[in-house]
A and B are shown apart, each in its own frame.
Chain A
Amino acid sequence: MGPAIVDSFRKLDPRIMFRNPVMFVTLVGAVLTTVSIFTSSPGPAGQGFVIQLAIWLWFTVLFANFAEAMAEGRGKAQADSLRKARRDTMARRIHNGVETLVAASQLDKDDLVVCEAGDVIPSDGEVIDGIASVDEAAITGESAPVIRESGGDRSAVTGGTKVISDRIVIRITAEKGNTFLDRMISMVEGARRQKTPNEIALTILLSALTLIFLLVAVTLKPFGAYAGVDFSIPVLIALLVCLIPTTIGGLLSAIGISGIDRLIRRNVMATSGRAVEAAGDVDVLLLDKTGTITIGNRMASAFTPAPGVTEHQLADAAQLASLADETPEGRSIVVLAKEKFNIRARELAEPHAVFVPFTAQTRMSGVDFLAEDGSAGKGGGAPAATTVRSIRKGAADSVKAYVQSNGGEFPDEVSKAVEAASRAGRTPLVVAERRRVLGVVELKDVVKGGIKERFAQLRKMGIRTVMITGDNPLTAAAIAAEAGVDDFMAQATPEDKLRRIRLEQAEGHLVAMTGDGTNDAPALAQADVGVAMNTGTQAAREAGNMVDLDSNPTKLIEIVEIGKQLLMTRGSLTTFSIANDVAKYFAIIPALLMATFPAIVPLNVMHLASPQSAILSAVIFNALIIIALIPLALRGVQYRPLGAVAVLQRNLLIFGLGGLILPFLGIKAIDMAIVALGLV
């Protein structure tokens, strides 16, 4: 709070104020009123009235500056901690095989540096050799280290993060002074903040309104001369300041800054305010299935035994075959068997059990039990010479081949079960013991809890969701139906994604997507809002216009909501500001004319005590309402996922009707207060 107060005075600099025409006019008004304290002859009530007017006009300007300073202040603390991470580290630059120590700020793009355990990575880059675990807490706040390695989708490293094991060679990809950390700092500080398109349009509207009211106030002087009323300059300035939209004018930049701030606090870095605004406009979301719509992995969901086999037997065999299988799918089979038949997980460490891992050739995994004495069992085949039991699970065609090679048969019922599972969007695994097929284990994608409701809300807001998956169309359709997305793309390649985005955009839609791999980069760049995962490649992070430090694809939905909230707050406060004028007219116009035309007293509907108290009350209300609305500007108006009509009606009622009525009450209350205090 303290620094914000200091800042609000610092921001009185006319060169800064000039960027905000509404508040600049208020500033000029405050100066002129102050001057007129000394130049004009004191009226019957003395100069006390003009002095108080001047004070409140200055407060109006300061309150607006304070709002902006408050909004900026919230980012400042974060910027300071980021700066600590940037403090000048030394880099070990390799040039022609010779290692030299240089300051990190001296690094050029394409320089090669080496980092070992304990080193702070000097700048953004790409790992070109080695693998290391990196602590990225400085930017993500997440203390668990992450793996960074050359090649693949996890090669990007960020300056300011720390290597905690091993050694990597990094090719620097950022220009001097334009690292991710630099951008992040300037973003949170609101420095170099450029006005967004909607903000520019709104500023034009507000400036034009200011100009119109300036005309109104200026022409009132000659009108008064005709009518025999001498309007004093301070009174006309008071009228002007009350009429121009100071409420929204004073809070506009605070709204913009706090919108970005809200993103930052959710660990999303936007490269521009424009992107945040575009997020509010998005009406198509391209969502990756895995991680966004479904929990990362498939889970076992049902056992379908073959004829002559009980479900219990199948579960038992499947569990045995999966005991050593550390993949999530394997573990889920163990869990399902335990849940359904209370089959306890048995230790597989016994020497006679041999785990057979999955290979690309066999496309099966399983377990072999050796005879306890190690002697030959009953079965035939090379490894089976010593096995007593051999269980396999795998894709239907592989298991079929395995069973048939052992002289067994693949029952029709099982084929049908396999087919049915595929059609339902599940992945069937067949379990067999040598020549005997035991049945089918179905694995299915698990849709995240609550996601369907989320999509329904999005649909109400007019946002369409498209699921992207590498699955075949059958599986994709089943999951799409379960998750309640509007559309899906099956067997999608990165090129398909890009094509889809272009198609949607050609139809006039605005598209948002998330991505992490290098092959996502073109689509991220093409999308109106491209959110790159922080774990992704440098290419992806460069291509998108936002980076999610938590690498959580579901966050796209929150980003859209923040964008909408930003626009809503602006619109609502503009409506409120303009609606306020009605009450202010009713306060000031009778006050202006009462002395010359006492007949106009009935127009003083609020029964304000005197012309002076009426004018002062309006000006005070006008100043205080800025302070009162700062929390709303920083927090944003309440967001609800409703259709446009419902949102409009709600906000019109609160901010339109409220904006009409509230100032009547407020001005009356202030009038009573200042009369009671004997200020006029």
Chain B
Amino acid sequence: MSNVDWFSFALYVGLVALITRPLGLYLVQVLDANGKTFLDPVVRPLELLTYRLMGVDHNEEYDWKRYTMAMLLVSAVSCVFTYAILRLQHVLPLNPQGLPALGEALAFNTAVSFTTNTNWQSYVGESTMSYFSQMVALTLQNFMSAAVGIAIAAALVRGIAWQSGEALGNFWVDLVRIAYYLLLPVCVVFAVFLVSQGVPQNFRPYDTARLVEPIRLADGTSVETQSIAQGPVASQVAIKMLGTNGGGFYNTNAAHPYENPTPLSNFVQMLSIFAIGSALTYYLGRITRNPGHGWAVWAAMMVMFVAAVVVCGAAESRGNPLHQALGLAVADGNMEGKEVRFGIFASSLFAVITTSASCGAVNAMHDSFTALGGLVPLFMIELGEVVIGGVGAGLYGMLVFVILAVFIAGLMVGRTPEYLGKKIGAYDVKMAMLSLLVLCGSILGFTAWASASEWGTAGLNNSGPHGFSEMLYAYSSATGNNGSAFAGLTATPANGDIRYNLTLGLAMLIGRFLMIVPILALAGSLVRKKVAPPSPGTFPVSGATFVVLLVGCVLLVGALNFLPALALGPIVEHFLNLQGRMY
């Protein structure tokens, strides 16, 4: 890694730290039903009108069951709505290319994918989706799923901080306020910025350009023109990054020059992935009246993040030993699958960011990373995407580890473990472990199924350990609601086999909802508990010791389970690479 790399890395971490507090303070207002923001004069009447139209009493507070039901209802309705649009794409407007409707399995997979904030794409955007589908079905879901994630995190934080008996807030109010005060306004500004960098925002049919140099194909035909996709790209890219959705407008996602044209747009997009997740840790500290705790959680995340970037960046800049032996290597490392305008470090950094957060947008092909370089993104997903993480999802995932860390180590100080004064009981441990079990079960279970069956191995692009990594990555990404692909895996094969699309869809549903329900149950259990006042005997949830403890817990409890699987994939591949074998 060069000095410039280190500088840009330091700048990135510094800016993330810098926006955490102000954005966190803003979140405090947004997530308070009576909060005050500078947008109130314009947005407040609109907000109240929305409640009236929805028939929602915005002063009412929900217990965890009602909150969960509302969340499930919204998710189910919007999933069905998306599915319907995709299936009816051919009769709907704004389809200048005349694209046909999606098949059942693909429509299911895509609808689930966008509802769960995964944005796994089993399709090629520019040749599958009409502008209408992109804008109405997908972009709407990007907003919705991001808002749901933030709302769940807020509910859990309230459960931790409040002693209200049952109430966790009003789901509808949270949803509307997050969308109106946070996501929409930021995205408008962000989209305008993207347009300034050269991202298109139009409804034109695809351009046809004449190639400077015609390409002669193997069968002798000559290709002289190229079709260049257009569309309302900026508006979708803004929310795809800010809401850690990650679903690209185009197939190559943020590697596409129209989605991510300049190094500046690249940097700002990376920043926007972490913005809300990072600010939510400040929200945690603020609402629990323990700012040190919020920062400790943030620091634990950042420690893991920095370590991951250094490992990934080093592995990529060291490059492929085989290529180097042959004298083929680019001087500064592994450039395969990377965009020249970003280079090795910005691609490595992007890869770690997008997998730390459950974003899933990519500006380079993870499949082409070195074994160790590719191990890092995979590992970050399998940690549970708790390093900043998806908007909301990262915080509630991390809080599960906080509760486990407090429970295990809390016993060590000689008291019933308590988290911010609330005693952690059997039920809380059960819910926390359930959410971990779901994650681990879905990733390992589906990968085992795929690796042992013909349909599973048929979709692979590479053989050996690398092929195994492709499957493991796919189910990790789906379960973790990340959505990035190792690329190389063909989930929608020409023979029409639907099993990848179905199992990936299931993994996404499991990874989202079987995770959220125990977490809301946890919030419901915590909010009923009395807070014991702190004393010198109280377990400290801030400071360096706690950061070490939390990182240790995430690594030991969260990641160790995947070590045997990783050993069969990237780890073996790495050692084989060193011996001169490639896949």
Contacts and interface: CB of A to CB of B under 8 A. Distances in A.
Nearest to B535: A462
Contact of A581 (B429, B539, B540, B556): B556
A281 interface: yes
B444 A216 contact: yes
Contact of B414 (A215, A220, A639, A656): A639
Interface residues of B, number: 67
Contacts of A589: 563-564, 567
Nearest to A236: B564
A205 B568 CA distance: 28
B51 interface: no
Contact of B543 (A639, A643, A645): A645
A110 B411 CA distance: 44
B468 interface: yes
Interface stretch (A87-95, A171-179, A594-602): A594-602
Nearest to B444: A219
B498 to A, nearest CB: 21
Interface string B430-470: 10011011001100110111011000010000001100100
B448 A219 contact: yes
Interface in A524-540: none
Nearest to B575: A599
A277 B425 CA distance: 13
Interface string B489-532: 00000000000000000000000000000000000000000111
B290 interface: no
B10 interface: no
A574 B408 contact: yes
Contacts of A463: 535, 537
A208 B441 CA distance: 11
Contacts of A213: 561
Contact of A205 (B408, B412, B448, B449): B408
B41 interface: no
Interface string A121-137: 00000000000000000
A201 B424 contact: yes
B564 A460 contact: no
Interface stretch (A3-11, A355-363, A440-448, A562-570): A562-570
B437 A575 contact: no
Contact of A575 (B409, B425, B434, B576): B409
A431 B377 CA distance: 89
B329 interface: no
Contacts of A643: 536-537
B549 interface: yes
A508 B421 contact: yes
B539 A648 contact: yes
B457 A568 contact: no
A243 B557 CA distance: 11
Contacts of B564: 216, 220, 223, 239, 585, 589, 592
A537 to B, nearest CB: 31
Contacts of B411: 198, 202, 567-568, 570-572, 574
Contacts of B537: 283, 461-463, 643-644
Nearest to A198: B416
B45 interface: no
Contacts of B531: 508
Given A205-B407, A571-B409, A226 B451 contact: yes
Contacts, number: 212
A644 B560 contact: no
Contact of A215 (B416, B441, B535): B441
A563 B571 CA distance: 45
Contacts of A568: 411-414
B209 interface: no
A215 B412 contact: no
Contacts of A510: 532
A599 B532 contact: no
B543 to A, nearest CB: 7
Given A280-B416, A564-B414, A208 B545 contact: no
B408 A603 contact: no
A645 B540 contact: yes
A508 B414 contact: no
B415 A564 contact: yes
Given A204-B433, A223-B565, A652 B426 contact: no
B416 A571 contact: no
Contact of A585 (B407, B408, B415, B560): B560
B151 to A, nearest CB: 27
Given A223-B447, A589-B564, A600-B572, A567 B408 contact: no
A222 interface: yes
Contacts of B581: 599
A283 B447 contact: no
Contacts of B437: 208, 211-212
A153 to B, nearest CB: 33
A648 B447 contact: no
Contact of B532 (A200, A229, A508): A508
B534 to A, nearest CB: 8
Contact of B412 (A201, A563, A647): A647
A579 interface: yes
A599 B581 CA distance: 10
B452 A226 contact: yes
A243 B563 CA distance: 11
Query: Quick one: which of A197, A219, A243, A463 has the most chain B CB within 10 A?
Result: A219
B548 interface: yes
A202 B444 CA distance: 25
Contact of A644 (B407, B428, B539, B575): B539
Nearest to A200: B426
A9 B86 CA distance: 64
A655 B565 CA distance: 28
Query: Quick one: which of A510, A565, A571, A578 has the most chain B CB within 10 A?
Result: A571
B404 interface: yes
Nearest to A461: B537
A216 B567 CA distance: 12
B3 interface: no
B550 to A, nearest CB: 12
Contacts of A283: 532, 535, 537
Nearest to B431: A204
B578 interface: yes
Nearest to A579: B556
B538 interface: yes
Query: Quick one: which of A216, A222, A226, A585 has the most chain B CB within 10 A?
Result: A226
Nearest to B404: A205
A198 B428 CA distance: 12
B533 interface: yes
A655 B568 contact: no
Contact of A593 (B408, B412, B548, B567): B567
A350 interface: no
A677 interface: no
Query: Quick one: which of B409, B533, B567 has the most chain A CB within 10 A?
Result: B567
B341 to A, nearest CB: 36
B434 A208 contact: yes
Given A216-B561, A644-B538, A652-B545, A223 B451 contact: yes
17 contacts: A197-B425, A212-B437, A216-B561, A219-B444, A220-B564, A229-B568, A280-B416, A459-B536, A567-B416, A571-B417, A572-B412, A575-B409, A589-B564, A593-B572, A600-B571, A603-B575, A644-B536
Interface of A: 197-198, 200-202, 204-205, 208-209, 211-213, 215-216, 218-227, 229, 239, 243, 277, 280-281, 283, 459-464, 507-510, 563-565, 567-568, 570-572, 574-575, 578-579, 581-582, 585, 589, 592-593, 597, 599-603, 639, 643-645, 647-649, 651-652, 655-656
Given A215-B440, A215-B445, 18 more contacts: A208-B436, A209-B557, A219-B444, A223-B451, A227-B465, A459-B536, A462-B537, A463-B537, A571-B408, A571-B411, A579-B556, A599-B576, A600-B571, A600-B575, A644-B536, A647-B412, A648-B545, A652-B548
Across the A-B interface, the 4 shortest Cβ-Cβ residue pairs: A462-B537, A571-B411, A564-B414, A462-B535
